[in-house]
Every structure is written in structure tokens, then in C-alpha cells.
Structure 1
Amino acid sequence: MAEIIEIMDENALNRAITRISHEIVEKNKGTENLVIVGIKTRGMPIARRIAENIRSFESGDVVLGSVDITDYRDDKKKDGKCRTENIIDIDVQDKNVVLVDDVIYTGRTCRAAINAVMDKGRPQKIQLAVIVDRGHRELPIRPDYAGKNVPTSRDETIRVLLKEQDDRDGVLLTKKGGAK
């Protein structure tokens, strides 16, 4: 039987998003040329919340976009069709791009997102914001902003719950073979 542990409740998740929002503005010295890009699907609602937070305390506009990495994944068989015109929906040329996702694990999702962004243009820099960094990287990628570092084993899973998709906010750790 699997053991499920709530490692972040709604308040903790909101505090993490607020902290990440402030860190992004501080590190980028404001919002000029700042672009927040959510990695579909779970990164998009988090990116939206970060952009809304930044707008609440910083003057200037925050550009919000999304990236679909489907065509860039290395674990899916290619069907020969390429949807590159729909990969990213905003201009990234010479911008400070902050990619947003829920969890970083191996780094492969982030690598795919970076490739998609680079195919759209050449940003000034690309940063990464995640709610949970669980380790086990297979690529030399690390987040610039992380809500929580949670060392896990490979047989554990992390799930970020979002009101937009799950009707509640929180972060769950599932341990396989938990208490019986």
C-alpha cells in the first residue's frame, strides 16, 4: 500500500509562489524585458499565479506565455508531424525568460522547454522556477527558483495539486510500499 504525505498545504504553496515571485523581480532588477513562460500543462497555472503576484507589487507589465514541449520530448516516438508554429505563443527575442514548471526531476522536461524557446528566438537569458526540486537529475540543469527541495528516492513521486486542475492546492509525496 502506498503512503501519501502532504508536504505543502495551500498556505505553504501560496507562500512559495509569493517568494518565487519576489525573487524573480529581484534577480531580474524589475520587470523590464521579463517574460514568464509556463510549461504546459501544470506549469501554466503556476506561471499565471507568479505573473499575477508580480503585477500586484511591481509597476510595469509582466508578459505571460506558455510553451508546449510535445514535439521536443525525447521519450515519445515522433509521428513526423511538427507543430512548431504552436510551440510558444510570445516573443522571446532578447527577453529574460523564466520557465515555470511544477516539479523538476531528471531535467528532461526543462531541456525540451529550453529547446522550444531557442527555436522561437534568442532570449537574453533563460531561468527556471519550480515548486519542488526532487533531485535525481540526468542533465546538468538546476532551478534558479525553487519553492521546496525534497530529496526523494526514485520510487517516490511528487504531485503538485492546483485548484485550477485538482480543485485544491497542495503538494503530495507518495511513498510506494508505505505503512501496512
Structure 2
Amino acid sequence: MQNPILSLDQTHQKIKRIAFEIYERNLEETNVVLAGIVGEGYTMAGLLTNYLREISPLNITLMKIDLNKEQPHTSPVHFDIDKEALNGKVIIVVDDVLNTGRTLAYSLSPFLGVSVKRVQVAVMVNRAHHSFPISADYVGYALSTTLNEHIRVKLSEPEAGVYLS
């Protein structure tokens, strides 16, 4: 059984607030890269891109980080843009849920070989069961859960929202 935590409107309100925070913390920048992790992380990055374009003059590049979330240590991480385009830029890695930090930790590894200006992390839900030293700079909703509970973020209609099961 799924219990709704955030409705579609509440979810979009949280993402819009994150967009304002990103703009506020990067006022001095002209270029920002939103790097969404494949799945709902990439969908959220797309929504953030749209909101940021509405509220700021920032030049936003949307990119996809593709990795096997179930076994990130055994598969390579792929970007859909050339790594050289990231040099000197602020990168904001976006995912739907920060649980243990494993997916985010592995998704960050390719950025170590690039001379980026700064890397930040944005998530819709922070569950606080961190096993890796990963923290989010931007959080839509912080939620303490048991290890047996599951959070599902769905960003496309008709069932868009955040759910606990």
C-alpha cells in the first residue's frame, strides 16, 4: 500500500523552491549544469531547468548521468555530453531520493577527472540513512523512515507525487 506524502502540486512547489535556492547560491555564475541521474532524477533536473529559466538569467545545461543504480560499482557511468564541456562550471547533480548515498557517490566519480568549479547535490527526498559521506545542498523534503520503508518519487502524471510504502 502506498501512502501519499506529497501531492503533485506540493512536489512541484518543492522543486520550484529548490530552483530559487540554486539561483540564490549561484548568483555570481553565468553557467550551471544540471546533471540528472537516469530516471526520476533526470526528470527532476528537467523541471528544475524549466523553473530556473523562468526565474533567472543563468545559462542552464541539462545533462543525463546514466548508471546501473542496482550495481553502480560494476558498471560504468555515462554522460550524454562531452566531459570537456563541464570544465570550469558549477555542476548540480540531481536525484529523486538520497537514501544511503551509494548512487550519488558513484555518479560523482566521473567528475573527479574534470576541472569543475563546484559540485552540488539536489534531491527531492532525503531519507537520512547515509552509508556514504554524501549530503545534499538542496532538499525538497527531509523524511526519517525505517530501513524497511520505501520512498517512491513519481514526477509525471497521472500519479505524480511522493509516496511511502
Is TM more than 0.5 here?
yes
Distance of 2:112 and 2:64 partners within structure 1: 14
Kept in 2: contact 1:130–1:143 (CA 8 A): yes
| Aligned counterpart in structure 2 of residue 122 of structure 1, from 115, 125, 142 | 115
Q: Is 1:139 aligned to 2:138, yes or no? A: no
Kept in 2: contact 1:69–1:87 (CA 8 A): no
Kept in 1: contact 2:31–2:58 (CA 8 A): no
Work out which of the two has the higher radius of gyration on C-alpha atoms and give 1 or 2: 1
Give the match for residue 36 of structure 2.
38
Q: Is 1:87 aligned to 2:79, yes or no? A: yes
Q: Is 1:162 aligned to 2:160, yes or no? A: no
- Percent identity over the alignment is 28
Kept in 2: contact 1:129–1:145 (CA 8 A): yes
Q: Which TM-score applies when normalising by structure 1? A: 0.83
Distance of 2:62 and 2:7 partners within structure 1: 26
Deviation at 1:144, TM superposition (A): 0.3
Consecutive unaligned residues in structure 2, runs of 5 or more = none
Q: Is 1:112 aligned to 2:106, yes or no? A: yes
Amino acid at match of 2:120: Q
Deviation at 1:31, TM superposition (A): 4.7
Residue-pair matches, total: 162
Give the match for residue 68 of structure 2.
70
Amino acid at match of 2:162: V
Deviation at 1:167, TM superposition (A): 3.5
Distance of 2:12 and 2:28 partners within structure 1: 21
Give the match for residue 48 of structure 1.
46
Deviation at 1:30, TM superposition (A): 5.1
Distance of 2:68 and 2:3 partners within structure 1: 31
Amino acid at match of 1:89: I
**1:6 aligned counterpart, secondary structure:** strand
Distance of 1:87 and 1:62 partners within structure 2: 16
**1:151 aligned counterpart, secondary structure:** coil
Amino acid at match of 2:86: V
**1:63 aligned counterpart, secondary structure:** strand
Question: What does the per-residue CA deviation read over 1:100-136, in whole Å, with 9 as the maximum and x for residues that have no partner?
Answer: 00000000111111102334x1211110000000111
Give the match for residue 91 of structure 2.
97
